[in-house]
Amino acid sequence: MVNFKHLGKLSSNKFLWVVEKRIKKSIRKNYDLKKDVKLVVFDDLSEYVLRSVIKTPFEMIRKSKSFFGVKNIDETIFENKKLGDFLKKNKAFVVLPWTLDHEIILFMKNMSKIKEKKKYIKLLKDVLEEEIIEYAKLRGLSYTKIKKSDEKEFLDKLGNKHAETKFSLVKSVGVLREIDS
């Protein structure tokens, strides 16, 4: 049994279904993953979701974060020259275990200074970090939590008091990015 304020009590299977459904919808809505696309993957969770949930035929290139000199999955990844050059050379996209929490923190830190990059797939963009932690645990996969920061602490406090706030914030981020582009 899983219990989240915004979802209530759910069986493990129902929870997994809800998270996977949200991931599928987000991928369909935000990315045009065509057959035989090349995807660079850093972690087991992203690989599992792509193979078991998305199920689009694609070529997977498994690389470690350290291969590109990436320490954390955060806003610094978008400016990583070695990764950018690799994606360009291989005509590939990188799949990030990027949650709803990541998206809000990125916006809070940069207030829309960072333009959306077309070569980056934010796989878990519509799923809360706490949900992904539980999802990974239930699937027997690992997930690295977002590094603590003032923005993350603020977001967690806000989410603890009003669970739906994070979902509202990420929708607002999307609207503001559309206006800015």
Domain locations along the chain:
2-180
Give the separation between CA 136 and CA 138, rounded to whole angstroms: 6
The span from the CA of 116 to the CA of 44, in Å, is 25
Q: What is the pLDDT of residue 124?
A: 92
pLDDT at site 55: 82
Within 10 Å of residue 82's Cβ, how many Cβ atoms? 11
| CA angle (178, 131, 147) in 5-degree steps | 75
Report the candidate in 101, 58, 102 with the shortest Cα–Cα distance to residue 78.
102
Instruction: Give Cα 32 distance to the centre of its chain.
Output: 16
CA angle 116/119/120 to nearest 5° reads 70
User: What pLDDT, in 10s, does the model give residues 57-67?
Assistant: 889 999 999 99
Q: Give 55-106 as a 3 state SS string.
A: CCCEEEEECCHHHHCCCCCCHHHHHCHHHHHHHHHHCEEEEEEEEHHHHHHH
Q: What is the pLDDT of residue 93?
A: 93
Stretch 22-46: mean pLDDT, rounded? 90
Pick the CATH number of 2-180 from 3.40.50.620, 3.40.50.150, 3.40.50.300, 3.30.420.40: 3.40.50.620
Confidence at residue 175, expressed as pLDDT on a 0 to 100 scale: 80
Locate the DSSP E strands across the chain. 2-4, 8-10, 37-41, 58-62, 92-99, 120-124
- Give the relative orientation of helices 12-30 and 129-139 as an angle to the nearest 10 degrees: 120
Better pLDDT: 84 or 161: 84
List the helix and strand counts (H, then E) for the chain: 7, 6
